[in-house]
Amino acid sequence: MPIAPIPDAQVPALPPAIELVGIDKRFGGVHANRDIHLTVDKGSIHGIVGENGAGKSTLMSILYGFYQADHGRILVDGREVRIRSSADAIGLGIGMVHQQFMLVETFTVLENVILGAEGAPRLAAAESRARGLIERLARDYGLTVDPDRIVGELSVGEQQRVEILKALFRGAETLILDEPTAVLTPAEADHLFRILRRLQAEGKTVVIITHKLREIMAVTDTVSVMRRGEVVATWPTAATTVERIAEAMVGRRVLLHVPKASSVPGRTLLAVEGLDVRDGRGARLVEGVTFDVRAGEIVGIAGVAGNGQSELLETIAGIRRPSAGSIRLGAEAIGGLDPAAIRALGLAHVPEDRHRMGLVLALEAWENVMLGYQDDPAYQAGVLIDGRAVRAAATDRFRGYDVRPPDIRLRTGLFSGGNQQKIVIGREMERDPDVLLVGQPTRGVDIGAIEFIHRRLIALRDRGKAILLVSAELDEIRSLADRVLCMCGGRIVGECRPETPEADIGLMMAGVAA
């Protein structure tokens, strides 16, 4: 690494790229940032970790001009500045890559890069400048993307590169990345880290906001931990450990790997044979998939996102129709039944995307507790819904799954990601299903909640239920699953033990060792 991490005690030779002094911000009753002091050294990669709701995003939004701090000062390159809008931030050389990309999908890469920074009514000048820059950056940093492709056709990793190009085109010296790897495959994430190190070598400063500890260890020089609106610790990354960071984030010791006994598989509860799924245009999404899941075991499906895992789960749950093959739940053939019928036969489903599918964010939380179970006789009172019964069930789930705040009448969208996920998981697990399909159980979930969710999944397995787990986190699959299936291009390309080295599973996921 070209620039060694600078320990806190030393006085850096250059003024820090960014210095936050006593930043304080409240939203109504929520104290989002409490007297924050943070120094980001020039030319460093600085990680900011914290659970959802710890105040990371608020702090970066203040730095990027979306919000104004109630108190406190911001210094850029040693000079005190006022940042009232993102235009001010860009003017000071601060660029931001948001978690949700801000791209016009129907425009080309080039058009997106110059968008808002055209400089003159005629586009040609900005376009040729941007083209030159994209070529240079592609050469220097490995930021390869074709400037003439339509953004909507690019992969997620490429779209993120376009976002980085946008920031650099606007003269960013300091780059803020908000949860940059949330949507990337492991290989794409590694590519991103290489780009960031190249940027650092060129003297750029990088701030990464994340809740993934692995990438903090992999790429940062310094790490600051936030909890409940405060910066509780700042360490040189090399001088700390994942366990210490996790403890600082959560405020107590957490287990990153929940211990479990070896599985005692019983009879087959879910059997899939020769399953084919096609999309509306006839393209094969899932091809000849055969496997089974037995009572008392967790079968994990590893694979790079978009290789048919989502479609496989949705087909078993009845949301998609299989074009060929059979699915059996215990003794019943369920292929082609609708989701309500399949649910009634004892299958529960925690969908991959809770916002898109698992919850209705605009409804009150208790109303989501009956989503999918609205036909349950226990929830009916004559022709009407027995609101009292549903709310009692919701209160019960909230208590059992430690959902915070414990207010069942709060609008679902106002809960944090981890608590929303607990609502979904509580709803599905409390039905005591024979078979549970789980997609991305801990995506966007805090470390503390991850441990909780993992414990619940293992407890369900130990009660003799069958669990089919799909996750983009290889770590999660390896620590939970009793058997691992690898999917690539809609097929199952191999099966292995969870102890198999990560690199070998990774090769299988890429379809190499099939």
Candidates 180-188, 267-275, 314-322, 440-448 — which segment interacts with another protein by CB under 8 A?
A: 314-322
Alpha carbon distance 507, 514 (integer Å)? 9
Q: How far is the CB of 122 from another protein (least distance, A)?
A: 36
How many residues bind another protein (CB under 8 A)? The answer is 38
Which pairs from 448-455 meet CB under 8 Å and 24+ separation?
A: 448/51, 448/250, 448/252, 448/254, 448/418, 449/418, 449/419, 449/421, 449/422, 451/254, 451/255, 451/256, 451/258, 452/401, 452/402, 452/422, 453/421, 453/422, 453/425, 454/258, 454/479, 454/480, 455/258
Measured CA to CA, the distance from residue 222 to residue 239 in angstroms comes to: 9
**Amino acid making up residue 240:** T
Q: 390-409: which residues touch another protein (CB under 8 A)?
A: 409
Beta strands in 197-283, from DSSP E residues, in sequence order: 205-210, 222-227, 230-236, 268-278
Q: Give the per-residue SS3 of 69-112.
A: CCEEEEEECCEEECCCCHHHHHHCCEEEECCCCCCCCCCEHHHH
The answer to whether 330 and 346 are in contact (CB under 8 A) is yes
- Select 34 or 214, whichever has its Cβ closest to another protein: 34
In what helix (H) or strand (E) does residue 492 lie, and over which residues does it extend?
A: strand 491-496
Out of 180, 372, 444, 490, the only residue in the binding site for another protein (CB under 8 A) is 372
Q: Which position among 321, 411, 463, 497 is part of the footprint of another protein (CB under 8 A)?
A: 411
- Residue 36 phi/psi, 5-degree rounding, is -85, 130
Among 12, 21, 24, 26, binds another protein (CB under 8 A): 26
Using the rule CB under 8 A, is 308 a contact of another protein?
Answer: no
CB under 8 A: which stretch of 165-173, 183-191, 377-385, 498-506 binds another protein? 377-385
Considering only 52, 99, 323, 380, the residue that binds another protein (CB under 8 A) is 380
Q: Contact between 25 and another protein (CB under 8 A)?
A: no
Question: Nearest approach, Cβ of 337 to another protein (angstroms)?
Answer: 10
Q: Identify the residue among 270, 317, 436, 505 touching another protein (CB under 8 A).
A: 317
Among 319, 496, 510, 513, binds another protein (CB under 8 A): 319
Residue 405 neighbours by CB under 8 Å, 6+ apart: 415
Amino acid residing at 395: T
Nearer to another protein, 79 or 411 (CB): 411
Of 299-307, 349-357, 440-448, 461-469, the segment contacting another protein by CB under 8 A is 349-357
**Residue 306 interacts with another protein (CB under 8 A)?**
no
Minimum CB separation of residue 34 from another protein in Å reads 15
242 binds another protein (CB under 8 A): no
Nearer to another protein, 427 or 454 (CB): 427
Phi, psi of 193, rounded to the nearest 5 degrees? -60, -40
For residue 246, the minimal CB distance to another protein (Å) is 33
- Output phi, psi for 163, to 5 deg: -60, -40
Which one of the spans 24-32, 73-81, 209-217, 256-264 is the region binding another protein (CB under 8 A)? 24-32
Closer residue to another protein, CB minimum distance, 26 or 98? 26
Q: How far is the CB of 412 from another protein (least distance, A)?
A: 10
Residue 345 sits in the site that holds another protein (CB under 8 A): no
Coil/strand/helix, residue 120:
coil
Residues forming contacts to another protein in the complex (CB under 8 A) are 26-29, 317-319, 338-341, 343, 349, 351, 356-364, 367, 370-372, 374-375, 380, 383-385, 387, 409-411, 414
